[in-house]
Structure 1
Amino acid sequence: MKARRPNSELIGFDRVLLKSFPLATGWNELLGRVRAQFDLALEYRELIMLRVAVLNRAEFEWGVHYPAYLQAGGTEEKCQALKAEGGASDLFNEEERALIALTDQSTNQVEVDSSVIDEVKRLFRENQTVEAVATVAAYNMVSRFLVALTI
C-alpha cells in the first residue's frame, strides 16, 4: 500500500482497509492493477472513476481522482461536465461519451444495453472494453465502501 502512495504515507482510507489484512491485501492488488497496469488509457480510466464518484456521491473518491484526471490529460471543463446530469457534454469525444454511457448504465442500473457495449467495442479493442467494464465495476466497489463507512 505504501508503495502506491505519495511519499509512501498511508492515508485514512488505507488504515480502514487494514482493519482486515486479507481485504487490504486483495484491495491493494486489484486496485493497483486497475490504476497502473491496464491498457485502457489512464485518462479514460480516471474519467470513469470520476463519473462513478459523482453518481455514487463519493466525495473522497472525487478528491483523489480529480487531480489524477487532470494530470492524465483531462480538463477542468470536463470535470465540471461530469458533475452534470447525463454527463455527456459536447466537450467529450466519441470515446469519452461511450465510456460515460457505459459508466452511467452500469452504475445506475447494473445492466448495460447491448448498443452501449457494442459502441464501446467498436471504439476500443476487446481487452480495453473488458478493462473499461472492470474499471466501472471496481470503482463502484470503492465508492460504495467509502460512502457506507462515511470516508
Structure 2
Amino acid sequence: MSRIAPLEPPYAPEIQSQFDAIMRGAPPLTLFRVLAGNARAWEKFRAGSLLDRGPLSLREREIVIDRTCALTRCEYEWGVHVSIFAKAARLTDEQVRATVLEGADAACWSKGEQVLIATVDALHHRATLSADEFKALSAHYDEPRIFEIILLCGFYRTVSYLNNGLDMPLEDNAPTFPS
C-alpha cells in the first residue's frame, strides 16, 4: 500500500475522463490514482505534458525513461514502462537489463543510443552536460529532441521522487530490477 491511499472507483466523471485519456482503456495506474486524490498535484503532473509522444521515437523515449528510473532506483516506474512499452519500443531483454546494470558504453546499444544514455547519466549525476557531451548529443539529436531528452530526465526524476517517497507498491505483472 502506498503511503497515501489511492482513489477508489467509481471516480468522479472528470477524473475518469482524464484516466481514460491517459490510459487508453486500461485501468489507471496506482500512481495516477494517488496523485488524482490531490487536485493540485494531479494538475501539475498532467500539466508537464510529457505523457504524450513528443519528438523522440518510442524507443528513444523509453531508453531515457528506463535509464532515469534505474538511476533513481525507482523500480515502480521502471517496471511500469518495461511492462507496457519495452516490446513496442523493440528493446531486447539484454537492453532492458542494461538500463539498470550496464554503462552507457554497453555493446547492446547503437552509438546514438550510447550518447543518449551518457546524457541521462550526466544529467542525473551532475545536472548538466559538458561542452563535449552536448556536442556528442547534438551530433545525433536535433534541438526539439534535445529539449525533450532533458525535459524527460527531469520529469521522470520527479516521478521517481513521487514513487519512491510514497513507497508505491509495484503494479501487478510489472518486472522488478534485474540483479
Equivalent pair of 2:22/2:51 in contact (CA under 8 Å) = no
Q: Cα RMSD over matched residues?
A: 1.6
Distance 2:71 2:94 in 1: 18
Tell me the CA shift for residue 88 of structure 1.
2.9
Q: What per-residue deviation string (whole Å, max 9, x for no partner) do you get for residues 3-32 of structure 1?
A: 2115252222112112321220221232xx
1:59-78 pair list within 5 angstroms: 59-67=75-83, 68-78=85-95
The structure carrying a bigger helix percent of its residues is 1
Equivalent pair of 1:50/1:66 in contact (CA under 8 Å) = yes
Matched length = 149
- Alignment match of 2:101 (pick from 67, 74, 84): 84
1:131 matches 2:148: yes
Tell me the CA shift for residue 85 of structure 1.
4.3
- Alignment match of 1:22 (pick from 23, 36, 40): 40
Q: Compare CA radii of gyration and give the structure with the larger one.
A: 2
Gapped runs of 5+ residues in structure 2? Answer: 1-17, 169-179
- Alignment match of 1:40 (pick from 53, 56, 66): 56
Higher relative contact order (CA 8 A, sep 6+): 2
Q: Aligned residues: percent identity?
A: 23
Distance 2:166 2:106 in 1: 32
Distance 2:165 2:105 in 1: 27
Q: Name the structure 1 match of 2:73.
A: 57
Tell me the CA shift for residue 87 of structure 1.
4.1
Tell me the CA shift for residue 97 of structure 1.
0.5
TM-score, normalised to structure 2's length? 0.77
Equivalent pair of 1:58/1:147 in contact (CA under 8 Å) = yes
- Alignment match of 1:149 (pick from 144, 156, 166): 166
Tell me the CA shift for residue 57 of structure 1.
0.7
